């Protein structure tokens, strides 16, 4: 029986992606090999509880939610994550995964919406990007860039243009909370007519930096 290390399972509003605002169950898996300088879930690097997939499904079903997001940490760091994603789809949930650009996404169940976070230079982990993933992106996936500054913005826009990503799926530009002003990022996007969507973290606007939200 496959088991996973789970940091937390909680019910809240989706704070990011085009699913923003939708009541969602979050399954946060423990562990991440990356160390982004702005990480707001360091508590998920270690600890958590070992759970079987059936135990996870039981907890998810208690919420009566339709939408489920598997996140981390880095969920794909645990091999059994792939089985969990398929099991959630088999249970007729609308499933998304939030993953870094550092792990192969090709084996993820085709029913899952893949939210791929491409690491910028400002993250400190740009060397971990697996750019081969970009050739696998479909129109039900989304690509996210978390931006620390103007240099990150220009770098991300170049990636979007070079790979023609806006022609494939939604592109999300998100300012690092408390570091890059959202209105400034909005001005840059408008000035450049950038084919991207400004993303703010709804959960932090509503509740601040609260774990489990």
pLDDT digits over 14-50, tens only?
999 999 999 999 999 999 999 999 999 999 999 999 9
Compare 211 and 89 and report the one with higher pLDDT: 89
Answer yes or no: is pLDDT of 186 > 50: yes
Q: What is the pLDDT of residue 101?
A: 86
Q: Are 8 and 41 in contact (CB under 8 A)?
A: no
Q: For residue 31, which of 14, 17, 48 has the smallest C-alpha distance?
A: 48
Intra-chain end-to-end CA distance of the chain, in Å: 30
Sheet with 142-147, side-by-side order of all strands: 49-52, 3-13, 23-29, 67-71, 94-100, 113-118, 142-147, 171-175, 197-198
Mean pLDDT of 131-148: 97
Q: How are beta strands 49-52 and 67-71 bridged, if at all?
A: unpaired
Res. 213: pLDDT tops 70: no
pLDDT tens, 155-180? 999 999 999 999 999 999 999 998 99
The stretch 2-15 carries a mean pLDDT of 96
Distance CA 34, CA 123 (A): 10
Q: Using CB atoms within 10 Å of the CB of residue 181, give its burial: 0 to 12 exposed, 13 to 18 middle, 19+ buried.
A: exposed
Residue 136 tokens read as 């696998």
Per DSSP, 94 falls in state E
State the chain's mean pLDDT as an integer.
95
Q: Return the DSSP state at 120.
A: P
For 72: left if phi > 0, alpha if psi spans -120 to 50, otherwise beta; the answer is beta
Tell me how far CA of residue 3 lies from CA of 8, 12, 36, 210, in angstroms.
Answer: 14, 24, 27, 27
Band of pLDDT at residue 210, cut at 50, 70 and 90: low
Preceding peptide of 69 cis, ω within 30°: no
CA proximity to 211, closest of 44, 27, 81 = 44
Beta bridge partners of 98: 115
Residues 40-62: what's their mean pLDDT? 96
Cα-flanking dihedrals φ and ψ of residue 107, to 5°? Answer: -95, 0
- Give, in words, the CATH class of 3-207: alpha beta
């Amino acid at each position: 029986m496959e088991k996973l290390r789970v940091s937390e399972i909680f019910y809240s509003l989706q704070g990011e992606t085009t699913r923003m605002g939708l009541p969602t169950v979050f399954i946060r898996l423990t562990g991440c090999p990356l160390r982004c300088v702005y990480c707001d879930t360091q508590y998920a690097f270690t600890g958590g509880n070992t759970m079987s997939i059936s135990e996870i499904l039981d907890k998810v079903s208690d919420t009566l939610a339709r939408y489920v997001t598997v996140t981390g940490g880095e969920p794909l760091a645990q091999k059994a994550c792939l089985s969990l994603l398929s099991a959630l789809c088999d249970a007729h949930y609308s499933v998304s995964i939030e993953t870094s650009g550092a792990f192969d996404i090709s084996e993820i169940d085709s029913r899952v919406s893949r939210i791929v976070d491409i690491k910028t230079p400002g993250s400190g982990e740009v060397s971990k990007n697996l750019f081969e993933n970009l050739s696998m992106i479909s129109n039900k996936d989304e690509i996210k860039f978390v931006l620390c500054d103007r240099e990150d913005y220009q770098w991300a826009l170049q990636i979007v243009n070079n790979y023609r990503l806006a022609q494939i799926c939604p592109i999300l530009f998100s300012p690092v909370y408390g570091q890059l002003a959202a209105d400034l990022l909005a001005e840059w996007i408008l000035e450049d007519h950038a084919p991207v969507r400004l993303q703010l973290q709804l959960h932090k606007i509503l509740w601040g930096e609260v774990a489990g939200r």
